[in-house]
Amino acid sequence: MTTLSTRTYVKGLAKGKALFLKKGCGHSHEAPQGSPEEEMERLGKAFDRVRNDIGEAAAKAGESLREILSAHLEMLEDPMLHDGIQDKILSGGLSAPQAVKEACEELQAMFDAIDDEYLRARKDDVRDICGQLLSALTEKAGIGPSPIPQGSVLVAEEILPSDAGKVDFNRLGAIVTRLGSITSHAAIIARSYGIPVLMGIPVERINDGDLLLVNALDGTLTVNPDEKTEAEFDKLLAKEMARGAEASSQAFKTAVTRDGKTIMVYANAGSIGDVRKAIEGGADGIGLFRSEFLFMQDESLPSEEKQYEAYRDAVLICNGKPVTIRTLDIGGDKALPCLGLPREENPFLGFRAIRISLARPEIFKPQVRAILRASAHGPVRILLPMITTLDEIRHARSIISQCMNELDRENIAYDKAIPVGIMVETPAAVLMADEFSKEADFFSLGTNDLTQYILAADRGNNAISELYDHMNPAVLRAVSITAKAARESGIPVCVCGEMAADEQAVKPLLESGVDSLSVPAPVIAKTKIIISE
Ligand code: PEP
Ligand code: MG
């Protein structure tokens, strides 16, 4: 028996067998898995696989596609590409995926500099090939048997948001990782399923099939427990289940504070399944629909129609309760490969969220039109992420108006008074909250990002998890400043970051003047109880 402990966890208890997600796969920033020679071997296999895939596709393709594919095959054999990657592995000590990524970026930059339109356009072919090589190199090695045995504890170096689609969270009892933090998006997804998570665990001390006792109430993990420890844990599990059942009976009541103030408890959702779970779990509506997960499901962008159907379904499931749909919040730790965005040194400070939407109206407009069309079916609010300047909300509003005009011309129904609010998740939005409160119809405090930006502490970095603390007085002060500005302008203010689900934070948030909370579905009942105490 071994007991391991950590400070980073998403609360809960679970007992189950370890199921390993293969280490070291998944993204291009990974460290080498072996010696440079082994990385070269990995690379060789990836080239073979891509060569094969292109060959097979070309055999089935029509004439014009076949031409493009044979150009891709030629490019795949280009010595400049091979030498560039090889050099980065053998002399630079990079992993194969990282070498591919860097060599491709250099090659693309070269094509960019060429004063010939045709050759410049070949840059897209390079990007395409590099994408295929990267997929072949980083594709997940699978997570074992399918379906996953019910109640398994998934063990991994790290779970990325893009894993969400590959793992059936419904079958997991818990998640244990070495990397990540409680506000990384994988943890947020796990919490929406009510799954306990332990992060910061030395996973090399666990083997596939080990029996694990996951105690994410005190942050400990017991590997292969002795009989006595297991029996004690079983008692704890039974007690926790009884407590959960008691809380559920409160879920459908409206939460009212002791001094008589009604507090709406909304839910955060990333999918239609989440919306259904939230409403069945007593949510007063959806306070944050993270639309980016809809975008991350496919390899191409979802059409206006596909988005409309999803948003409309959410509205119909909510049956008169409000749905707050946040526009695309991609970037940071949420990648969207089909956008083909270049790698950034500081992705959380980079081209993300509203910055992308405003720069790419061909992505933003279909989304806005889809949200507007869904508003014909019930109460919807539009939420803009990562707002830092007044110009951004003005620009977004002008695009929303353009979409409204288009829908008017097309005789398509929508709510003409649809509220447009902003995420307050940057220090700039807090400091200018009085000005923003005159232009936004509501505020939603995104304390996950706000905490990292105020404390200059990466939300996904376990090494500084002690510093990343939403109860830090600086964060609490930011909440108060925002709530005060909202109150003075008469607009509502919600908290939709994970802080709203922290039992210790609920009362301080309400004392600051926050008037609603948005939490993961599994903690709705508990949050309502705390509010009423
Ligand atoms: C936040 O930053 O608090 C938030 C709710 O947005 P996300 O976690 O999706 O970045
Ligand atoms: Mg955020």
What is the reported pLDDT for 159?
78
What are the CA-CA distances from residue 392 to residues 56, 435, 494 (Å)?
47, 13, 21
What is the reported pLDDT for 26?
41
Residue pLDDT, tens place only, 411-431: 999 999 999 999 999 999 999
Active site residue 496: yes
What is the reported pLDDT for 163?
60
Q: ∠ at Cα 503 (526, 485), nearest 5°?
A: 110
Among 184, 191, 290, 333, which residue has the most ligand 1 atoms within 8 Å of its CB, making it the best to mutate? 290
Residue pLDDT, tens place only, 465-516: 889 999 999 999 999 999 999 999 999 999 999 999 999 999 999 999 999 9
Q: Which residue is closest in CA terms to ligand 1's atom 8?
A: 448
Among 266, 274, 294, 425, which residue has the most ligand 1 atoms within 8 Å of its CB, making it the best to mutate? 425
Global pTM reads 0.70
CB 401 within 8 A of CB 355: no
Distance (angstroms) between ligand 2 centre and the Cα of 133 equals 31
Residue pLDDT, tens place only, 43-63: 998 888 888 877 776 776 566
Distance (angstroms) between ligand 1 centre and the Cα of 348 equals 12
Which numbered atom of ligand 1 lies nearest the CA of 447?
A: 3
What is the reported pLDDT for 466?
86
Inform me whether the pLDDT recorded for 189 exceeds 80: no
CB 177 within 8 A of CB 155: yes
Question: Which is more confidently placed, 158 or 327?
Answer: 327
Distance, in Å, from the CA atom of 433 to the CA atom of 327, rounded to the nearest integer, reads 20
Distance (angstroms) between ligand 1 centre and the Cα of 172 equals 24
Ligand closest to CA 446: 1
Question: Which is more confidently placed, 249 or 201?
Answer: 201
Q: Is 313 exposed, middle or buried (0-12, 13-18, 19+ CB in 10 A)?
A: middle
DSSP state of 399: H
Ligand closest to CA 191: 1
> Which percentage of the chain shows pLDDT scores above 90?
58
Distance (angstroms) between ligand 1 centre and the Cα of 447 equals 7
Question: Which is more confidently placed, 128 or 277?
Answer: 277
Q: Which of 318, 403, 494, 496 is catalytic?
A: 496
Question: Which is more confidently placed, 272 or 29?
Answer: 272
Among 329, 336, 356, which residue has the most ligand 1 atoms within 8 Å of its CB, making it the best to mutate? 329
Among 496, 509, 518, which residue has the most ligand 1 atoms within 8 Å of its CB, making it the best to mutate? 496
- Among candidates 347, 492, 365, which has minimal Cα distance to 419? 492
Pocket of ligand 1 (CB under 6 A): 288, 290, 329, 425, 446-449, 496-497
DSSP for 260-288, please give it. S-EEEEEEEESSHHHHHHHHHTT-SSEEE
Which numbered atom of ligand 1 lies nearest the CA of 448?
A: 3
Inform me whether the pLDDT recorded for 121 exceeds 70: no
Helix axes 117-138, 36-60, angle to 10 degrees: 110
Question: Which is more confidently placed, 134 or 223?
Answer: 223
Q: Which domains does the chain have, with CATH numbers?
A: 2-23+144-227 (3.50.30.10), 36-138 (1.10.274.10), 250-532 (3.20.20.60)
**What is the gyration radius of the CA atoms in the chain, in angstroms?**
25
Give the distance, in angstroms, between the CA of residue 63 and the centroid of all CA atoms in the same chain: 40
Inform me whether the pLDDT recorded for 162 exceeds 70: no
> Which percentage of the chain shows pLDDT scores above 70?
92
Which numbered atom of ligand 1 lies nearest the CA of 188?
A: 8
Which numbered atom of ligand 1 lies nearest the CA of 385?
A: 6
Q: Which residue is closest in CA terms to ligand 1's atom 1?
A: 446
The whole-number average pLDDT for the span 194-203 is: 91
Inform me whether the pLDDT recorded for 452 exceeds 70: yes
Strands (E) in 21-167, as ranges, are 152-156
What is the reported pLDDT for 63?
62
Mean pLDDT rounded to a whole number for the chain:
88
Residue pLDDT, tens place only, 266-310: 999 999 989 999 999 999 999 999 999 899 877 789 999 999 999
Ligand closest to CA 448: 1
Inform me whether the pLDDT recorded for 344 exceeds 70: yes
Q: Which residue is closest in CA terms to ligand 1's atom 9?
A: 290
Q: How many residues does the chain have?
A: 533
Ligand closest to CA 495: 1
CB 81 within 8 A of CB 138: no
The whole-number average pLDDT for the span 299-327 is: 96
The whole-number average pLDDT for the span 53-79 is: 74
What is the reported pLDDT for 25?
36
What is the reported pLDDT for 20?
84
Distance (angstroms) between ligand 2 centre and the Cα of 253 equals 29
What is the reported pLDDT for 141?
43
Active site residue 185: yes
**pLDDT band at residue 114 under the 50/70/90 scheme:** confident
The whole-number average pLDDT for the span 436-456 is: 97
Q: Which residue is closest in CA terms to ligand 1's atom 6?
A: 446
Q: Which of 185, 377, 470, 494 is catalytic?
A: 185
Which numbered atom of ligand 1 lies nearest the CA of 290?
A: 9
Q: Is residue 149 helix, strand or coil?
A: coil
Distance (angstroms) between ligand 2 centre and the Cα of 495 equals 11
Question: Which is more confidently placed, 442 or 191?
Answer: 442
Q: Is 133 exposed, middle or buried (0-12, 13-18, 19+ CB in 10 A)?
A: buried
Inform me whether the pLDDT recorded for 23 exceeds 50: no
Distance (angstroms) between ligand 1 centre and the Cα of 424 equals 10
The whole-number average pLDDT for the span 128-144 is: 69
Distance (angstroms) between ligand 1 centre and the Cα of 449 equals 6
